[in-house]
Amino acid sequence: MSELAEKAGGEADPWAPAMLELALDTANRDVIAPFWAALLTGDACNVDGDGVVDPSKRVPAEPDGA
């Protein structure tokens, strides 16, 4: 990404906020959500209600003020 930014005349900022939103549209959320939590965060317990949470806060769940 840094090379692409430089070629475009910009500067990469790998620590800039990012947002990732996944929708688990399934009747088996209780079975599938722990799999995605483990895959994305390394711990199948990182599920809160309808969402997978990132306890490291590296990727915010939603923008501030949303």
DSSP labels, 9-30:
T----TTS---------STTHH
| Confidence band, pLDDT 50/70/90 cuts, at residue 66 | very low
Residue 51 three-state SS: strand
Q: Domain of residue 21: give its range.
A: 17-66
Tens digits of per-residue pLDDT, 13-55?
877 766 666 677 788 888 888 998 898 888 999 998 878 888 8
Cα-Cα-Cα-Cα dihedral sign, residues 44, 41, 63, 22:
negative
Whether 3 is in a domain gets the answer: no
Whether 1 is in a domain gets the answer: no
- pTM of the entire predicted model: 0.54
Residue 52 three-state SS: strand
Whether 64 is in a domain gets the answer: yes
Query: Do 47 and 17 touch, CB atoms closer than 8 A?
Result: no
